Amino acid sequence: MSKPIVRFAPSPTGHIHIGNTRVALLNALFARREGGTFILRFDDTDLARSKQEYADSIETDLEWLGIPPDVTVRQSERFDLYDAAAERLKDVGRLYACYETPEELEFRRKRQLARGLPPIYDRAALKLTDEERARLEGEGRRPHWRFRLDHVNVAWNDLVRGECHVDCGSLSDPVLVREDGTYLYTLPSVVDDIDLKISHVIRGEDHVTNTAVQIQIFEALGGAIPTFAHHSLLITASGEGLSKRLGHLSVKGLRDAGLEPQAVSSLAVLVGSAEAVRPVADLGELARLIDFSHISRAPAKFDESELEHLNARLIHEMPYEAVRGRLAALDADLGEAFWNAVRGNLNKVRDAVEWARVVSGPVTPVIEDRAFIDAAADALPAAPWDTATWKAWTEAVKAKTGVKGKALFMPLRLALTGLDHGPELGSLLPLIGPERVKARLSGQAA
RNA sequence: GCGCCCUUCGUCUAUCGGUUAGGACAUCUGCCUUUCACGCAGAAAAGAGGGGUUCGACUCCCCUAGGGCGCGCCA
């Protein structure tokens, strides 16, 4: 395969969510693996709804996920290209002027639906005479422009879905140009795919029908038709589609919740595929797991709690070097021994703050049996301490008091950490150190 | 309403006419840690329903049910 050129084409009208993330990752990682180019294309032809704030947010999100684009283009800066394409389509008679108002069209659609008919545009504008057109223009009506579809069966070989076909005879001629002269998504998308030499269009299956229309436009414009890959969409546990609905699963929200980008990307790429969903820390490795022919054609349920589990598993094996800077930023960098001791108890990296406090203090000890704790304090080994100290100490306490098992450990854990759960005390004890241990055993906060 | 696609353990999936229907996550149990967790090991758990075709169907065909997507002067 020659080097692929792919694009992720969000419209900056909101924050991107887990569904968009899946598209972005599939494109970016496929390009990376094949030595190709990953283009971020802002589909911002809808000037009214597109916001710079969202464009910035999308770039931040891609950066955070580890897939910054190789190239970024904005459709809002490329109108000349679309104008030229529209003229060419008019010249060859594929783009025709229509004068119905949105209200009229809406009314017709409803009426067709009510009669059990598909809500297809009837091409009335194609039958308009020059006089009628002139009269409408004279009334001040401005036209919108539709692409005249060939009523043929359009087929393509989809990398995910295999042989696909759409009967264009059952489709409305798509509006390409609005009454105000601005463009809808369809034409700029094709023009840019041609201009940017996009080799693979990887996107959600909500675009399957569009594909047939776009293939006709590619042909009308004489452009090379890219390879298509339409993956299934994600649905929520309760079964509703989320690709266009659930905003709370925004990448920003996930990031703010303290999730690791690798947890998000692992789930986004692996869910709904034949690969086992597991935390993959390295994007290169994740890229190697992508296989379009092994992406399911059925919608996959996206379970938010699975993300939490993945995140925890990822952290449990995360090396110190990978988090050192972030621990420092959290004021919780107590060294590699500390990280290795606590990471198994973390769901989020920032939870390390809590254990840093347990080590450095202040901790208010919980002591229920004063006599037992005093006896334990008396048996404390001399410094220096290491990871074997805990065992030596507890053996001594056991020999002295006859207490063993949970009755031995839980009171000590409560006295030393103030908590009934946590990392292995053998690792924690030398980190807490003799001074604070003695203070806590005596009942003082330290 | 019409069109396209889909339906295997709770979840994501493997199987592409003959298998004890395999794996992963979650769950449960055990082991380890003389503690909770982490880790390790094991267990339980599935072909939507009905018709065909065939010696034989999860696999091919039809119907039904359920689900997703599409049918915008949204993208």
What value does the mean pLDDT take over residues A11-34? 94
Flag whether pLDDT at A148 surpasses 70.
yes
- The whole-number pLDDT of residue A246 equals 52
Q: What is the pTM of this model?
A: 0.92
Check if residue A155 sits with its Cβ under 7 angstroms from strand B. no
To the nearest 10°, the Cα dihedral for A101, A107, A109, A113? 180
CA atoms of A236 and A318, how far apart (whole Å): 29
Cβ of A82 near strand B (under 7 Å)? The reply is no
Other Cβ atoms less than 10 A from the Cβ of A196: the count is 17
Answer yes or no: is pLDDT of A281 > 70.
Answer: yes
- Nearest CA to A175 among A75, A105, A244? A105
Looking at residue A166, its pLDDT comes to 94
pLDDT at residue A115 in the model: 84
* Whether residue A245 has pLDDT greater than 50: no
Please name the amino acid found at residue A209.
T
Strand B lies under 7 A from the Cβ of residue A206 = yes
Nearest DNA or RNA nucleotide to A397 (CA to C1'):
B34
Instruction: Give the Cβ contact number of residue A8 at 10 Å.
Output: 25
Q: Is the CB of A46 under 7 A from strand B?
A: yes
Give the whole-number percent of chain A exceeding pLDDT 90: 70
Give, in Å, how far the C1' of B46 lies from the CA of A301.
17
Taking C1' of B68 and every protein CA, the nearest residue is: A299
Q: What pLDDT is recorded for position A239?
A: 64
CA–C1' nearest nucleotide, residue A309:
B25
Q: In the complex, which nucleotide's C1' lies nearest to the CA atom of residue A300? A: B12
Strand B closer than 7 A to residue A410 Cβ: yes
Give residue-wise pLDDT tens across range A304-315.
888 999 999 999
Decide if pLDDT at A236 tops 90. no
CA of A349 to C1' of B61 (A): 55
| Strand B bases, protein C-beta under 7 A | 1-8, 11-14, 23-26, 33-39, 67-75
Please enumerate in sequence order all residues whose Cβ is within 8 A of that of A252, keeping only pairs 6 or more positions apart, or say none. Answer: A15, A57, A60, A61
> Residue range A232-257: average pLDDT?
75
Please report, rounded to whole angstroms, the spatial distance between the CA atom of protein residue A161 and the C1' atom of nucleotide B8: 19
CB proximity A185–strand B (7 Å threshold): yes
The pLDDT assigned to A368 comes to 84
Asked if the model's pLDDT at residue A12 lies above 80, the reply is yes
A292 vs A386, higher pLDDT: A292
Residue A240 has pLDDT above 80, yes or no: no
pLDDT band at A150, cuts 50/70/90?
A: very high
Give the pLDDT confidence of A178-214 residue by residue, as tens digits: 999 999 999 999 999 999 999 999 999 999 999 999 9
Question: Residues A408-419: what's their mean pLDDT?
Answer: 89
Q: Give the pLDDT of residue A46.
A: 83
Mean pLDDT on A325-340: 92
At residue A349, does pLDDT exceed 90? yes
Are A168 and A124 in contact by the 8 Å Cβ rule? The answer is no
**Averaged pLDDT of chain A:** 91
Q: Whole-angstrom Cα distance, residue A227 to residue A224? A: 10
**Nucleotide closest to residue A297 (CA–C1'):** B6
Cβ of residue A146 lies below 7 Å from strand B: no
Q: What's the CA A239/C1' B64 distance, rounded, in angstroms?
A: 21
Length A160 CA → B21 C1' (Å)? 25
Whole-number distance in Å between A422 CA and B27 C1': 23
Query: Any idea which nucleotide's C1' is nearest the CA of A43?
Result: B75
Q: Which nucleotide in the DNA or RNA is closest to residue A178, CA to C1'?
A: B73
Confidence band for A243, pLDDT divided at 50, 70 and 90 = very low
**Average pLDDT value for residue range A67-73:** 98
Q: Is the CB of A180 under 7 A from strand B?
A: yes
Selection from A439, A425, A445, A398 nearest residue A342 by Cα: A425
Q: What is the mean pLDDT of residues A256-284?
A: 93
Q: Please check whether strand B approaches the CB of A274 to within 7 Å.
A: yes
Q: What percent of chain A has pLDDT over 70?
A: 98
- What string of DSSP letters covers A68-133? --SEEEEGGG-HHHHHHHHHHHHHTT-EEEE---HHHHHHHHHHHHHTT-------GGGG--HHHH
Q: Which of A16-20, A173-177, A297-301 has the highest mean pLDDT?
A: A173-177
Residue A138 Cβ < 7 Å to strand B: no
Asked whether residue A73 carries a pLDDT value surpassing 90, the answer given is yes
Distance from residue A231's CA to nucleotide B15's C1', rounded to whole Å: 21
Cβ of residue A64 lies below 7 Å from strand B: no
pLDDT > 60? residue A247: no
State how far the Cα of A319 lies from the Cα of A326, in Å rounded to an integer: 12
Q: Range with the lowest mean pLDDT among A127-131, A236-240, A263-267, A417-421?
A: A236-240
CB A302 within 8 Å of CB A248: no
Greater model confidence, A116 or A320: A320
- A233 beta carbon to strand B: under 7 Å: yes
